[in-house]
Structure 1
Amino acid sequence: MSNGTSKDMAGQKLKPDGRKLTGEIGEAAAFRYLSETGYAVIERNWRCRMGELDLIASRDGLLIFIEVRTRRAGGRFGTAAESVDRRKQQKLALLAQFYMRQHAVTDQSIRFDVITVTLDRDNAVLELKQIEAAF
């Protein structure tokens, strides 16, 4: 539709999801950054019945599970890094275990990173930070 709305399966109009677009822009920026800095990205948006892992990469013999958090500059909801709280960390650890079981990954060192992306109001990346071994 030309007005930026779409319809759900019941034919109801849906408003554009600004949060989803923000997240997609941040994840694309994180993917580019990782690719340019020597990481081999194995999976993007890997999903299972329990949830989703944003990015899974490898580098230097490590399997790295990466959570991407994107915020707009001047936002009111805290920093992107603060949003990866204990509950989210536990969920990511469970998802990683599930991924490793499903893909028969054994005997490989893993790491959990967080990449934070800050966008301006025109969706340009103002800042991107990688927090290695975030938890």
Structure 2
Amino acid sequence: MMSSQGKADNRKQKGDAAETAAAEMLLRKGYRILERNWRSRYGELDIIAETEGVLVFIEVRSRTGTASYGTPSESVNARKMMQVRNTAEQYIHYKRYYDKPVRFDVISIILQDDMTAASMDHIVNAF
């Protein structure tokens, strides 16, 4: 029998595995990772990167197994978009990146049971 703590630990492991896979993919594409898991009172930004002078805030979403409940990216609802935007605004002010163009991407990952990526979809300018 799994405790509620065990379930949370497994969920965190899956999230970490997905974010690591996403960061590795971004590096292969030539992105420069600036931050991972940056927090403010508004929330957390999974990955903050830069490419071609654009500041990119990346929301990483994952599921295990098949997409029978929809794709991970479909779980990014209006509330989550607003939270990411508000947190990104705090990051921009904190780092004084006022002159950089900004973009919001989503990376959708299906994880296998061993927590390796079965598939990844990078949605550029998702919202």
Question: Same fold per TM (> 0.5)?
Answer: yes
Q: Which has the higher contact order (CA 8 A, sep 6+)?
A: 2
Matched, 1:78 2:67: no
CA distance, structure 1, for counterparts of residue 35 and residue 26 of structure 2? 12
CA distance, structure 2, for counterparts of residue 72 and residue 21 of structure 1? 12
Shift in Å at residue 16 of structure 1? 4.8
Matched, 1:50 2:42: yes
Residues 41-89 of structure 1 show CA distances to partners (whole Å, capped at 9, x for unaligned) of: 0001001122100000001110000000011122654320111011100
Question: Could you say which residue in structure 1 is the equivalent of 2:24?
Answer: 32
CA distance, structure 2, for counterparts of residue 129 and residue 14 of structure 1? 30
Query: Residue type matched to 1:132 in 2?
Result: V
Which structure 2 residues correspond to residues 53-64 of structure 1 after superposition, within 5 A?
53-64=45-56
After TM superposition, the runs of 4+ consecutive aligned structure 1 residues lying more than 2 A away are 13-17, 74-78
Q: Which runs of 5+ in 2 are unaligned?
A: none
Matched, 1:124 2:105: no
Structure 2 counterpart of 1:101, from 87, 93, 97: 93
Query: Residue type matched to 1:133 in 2?
Result: N
Residue aligned with 1:14, SS: helix
Q: What count of residue pairs does the alignment treat as equivalent?
A: 125
CA distance, structure 1, for counterparts of residue 5 and residue 80 of structure 2? 28
Structure with greater Cα Rg: 1
Query: Residue type matched to 1:85 in 2?
Result: N
CA distance, structure 1, for counterparts of residue 28 and residue 85 of structure 2? 26
RMSD: 1.8
Residue aligned with 1:107, SS: coil
Residue aligned with 2:60, SS: strand
